[in-house]
Every structure is written in C-alpha cells, then in structure tokens.
Amino acid sequence: MSRSAAVGVLRGGAFAAAGIAFPFVVHAAWIVNIGVLTLMYAALATAWNLFSGYSGYISLGQAAFFGLGAYTLGITFAHVGIGSGYNPFYALPLVGAGVALASLPVAWIALRTRHMTFAIVTLTLLFVTQQLAFNLHSITHGSSGLMLPTPSFDIADYDRPFYLAMFALLLLGLGACWLVLRSKLGLMLLAIREDEEKARGLGIRVTTAKLIAWWLSVAVSAMVGGVWAYYLTFIYPESAVDPLVMIGAVLMTFLGGRGTLWGPAIGAFLLVPVQQYMLTRLGASQLYLVGYAAVFMVVLLVLPRGIVPSLRDWIDRVRERQRTRRGPIVREEAHA
C-alpha cells in the first residue's frame, strides 16, 4: 500500500471512529437530530457526486430516487409487514438495489442526451415522480400521505439508531467513491468528464461506465430515503420528492468540491447546521431560502471549484514557494 493510500485509510478510520462515538457521547436529542439531518445530506451529496461529480453529467432528479426509496420502504411496511425495530434497516439493501435496477432503463434513455438537456430530463423525472406519488392513491395514498409503523426504540435514544444508519450509508457512499477513484471505472468516468468523444474513440465503454455509476448513486440515495421515511414515520409527495432536497445536496457538493472524495461531506457538515439555525430563526417567513441562494452565489463567485480543491491549490502554492526559496540557498551552499 502506498503512503498516500495508508494516510487515506487512517483518515477514514479516524472519521468512522469519531462518527460512531458521537451519539454515545452527546446525549442532547436535538443535537443528535441535527446530526441525523447532516448525515442524510452528506450521504445524498456523496451519492450525487458519485455519478455527477465524476462523470460530469449534472443530474437534477436525485430527489426522485430519494422519494422512491422512501415510498418503497413505506409500501413494503403496508403490504408485506416487515415489523418494526431494526428489521426495516435490514431491508434497505433490497430497497436500494431494487430502485436502482428499476431506474436503469430510464437512465439508458436519459444518458443519450448531454449537458443541459440531460439536466432538464432528470429534472422532469423528479416532477413526474412527484405527480405519480400524488395520483397513485391505491399505492401511495396520494396527498393524504403514507403512515409507517412507529419504531420501537427507547424514547431517550430514539435518534441514535437512525443516526448510525445514516452514518453507515455515508460510509458506504464514501467507500464506493474511494474504490471508484482507484479503479478502472474511475479512470473511465474522469475521461468521460474531460472529453466523452475522445474517450469513446479510445475504446472506453462509455455507456456501461455511466450506467454503473448511476446505479451506485441511485442505490445509496434510495436507501437514504428509506431511513428518512422510517425516521419520520409519515411521508407525503411534497416532502418525499422535494426539489429542495436535491438543491441542498448539489449545493453542498459544489461547496465542498465536486469530483473530490471528502468535498460533499465537508459541504454538508458546514451547511446543514447553518441551515437548521436559519430555519429556526427565519423559517416562518421562508427567508432562509434567500440565505440558501446567497450561499450558492458566494460559492460560485468566491470558491467556484469548492473548498477541497481550493485548499489543495493553496497548499501546493505554499509548497512551491518554500521550494523556490530553498533553491537559491542550496545552490549557494554548493558553490561555497
């Protein structure tokens, strides 16, 4: 294992240990609740980055798969009876894999378009999914909403299982990104992002690479939606398929750094607590949305590449300056 890979593994291990310890150290329910929301957005942003960040295809329909995951788990409760407690968490891999598999025909058609056309197609998919949730009353109960069983967790630690489930999904998304970046698939996706026609000309199986990344991204998003639905115990179309969820995940990815491993999570850890504070203070007037838009404008103007790439560039410039300063001193000592 190379030195950089070993440092990455140690960094990931420290992050996992701190994240797991958090709900056992912090006992205030409202703080753990913010932790659940933060991890939810971090996992969604990481999942979005897994496809859009690496391939360059900007998807605006991630909330559709988040909502499909929520409704899939809710419908499974209603028609299969999988019980309460931890049982729904065991069903999450099937929910994620099923929603992702069902989305592949749509992805195959949508990925025949590019750039703004692809973004518009995925945004249309979001609103189509929302309208289906409204109109398929026999399955989703429409605007009346779908009720899920109340989790049988102790009231004092009610948020902890959901926190750990969201954290596990974030680790799953980060692990998938880490493996993709160090695999042939990652090289294929980055080549597609830089120049798809040239990548196709070099023999890269462009469609296959995009579909694999899409499947992974949708699977994680759907599982996050399932945990969120079980956490709230009640879902309806406006909240399950909410464009603001998608906007938040995309904004956090751009804030942290699109196409990086840690950027989306860093963006979520910075933005979600601020969002919750603004929502508490300004939620009744909806002015927190203005604050959201202001953050997006600042990111585009000040940090167009995001925090992680900008920080990496700054470190490289500092090292280059130090190397340049040392150069003349070394040459003078050699002449002496």
- pLDDT at position 217: 96
Q: What is the amino acid identity at position 30?
A: W
**Contact at 8 Å (CB) between 245 and 129?**
no
Query: What pLDDT shows up at residue 294?
Result: 79
- In the three-class reduction of DSSP (H, G, I as helix; E, B as strand; rest coil), residue 32 is classed as helix
Dihedral angle sign, alpha carbons of residues 5, 8, 14, 17: negative
Residues 6+ apart with CB under 8 A from 118: 57, 58, 59, 110, 111
Residue with tokens 């000592």: 333
Q: SS3 breakdown of the chain: % helix, strand, coil, rounded to 5? A: 80, 0, 15
Close Cβ partners of 40 (under 8 Å, ≥ 6 residues apart)? 166, 224, 227, 228
Helix (H) or strand (E) holding 235: strand 234-235
- Please enumerate in sequence order all residues whose Cβ is within 8 A of that of 132, keeping only pairs 6 or more positions apart, or say none: 140
Q: Calculate Rg over the CA atoms of the chain.
A: 22
State residue 329's pLDDT score: 53
Burial class of residue 229 (count of CB atoms within 10 Å of its CB; 0-12, 13-18, 19+): buried
- pLDDT mean by block of 10 residues, the chain; 336 residues: 73 91 91 94 96 93 94 84 80 94 93 89 92 90 86 87 96 94 92 92 92 96 95 90 89 90 93 83 69 74 82 84 70 52
Alpha carbons 244 and 250: distance in angstroms, whole number: 10
Q: What residue segments make up the domains of the chain, in order of their start?
A: 11-305
What's this model's pTM, rounded to 2 decimal places? 0.90
Q: What letter represents residue 293's amino acid?
A: A
Q: How many CA atoms lie within 13 A of 146 on its CB side?
A: 31
**Cα 116–118–123 angle (5° rounding)?**
95
- pLDDT tens-digit series, residues 156-197: 888 999 999 999 999 999 999 999 998 999 999 999 999 999
pLDDT of residue 334: 52
- The pLDDT value recorded for residue 50 is 95
CA distance 241 to 68: 8
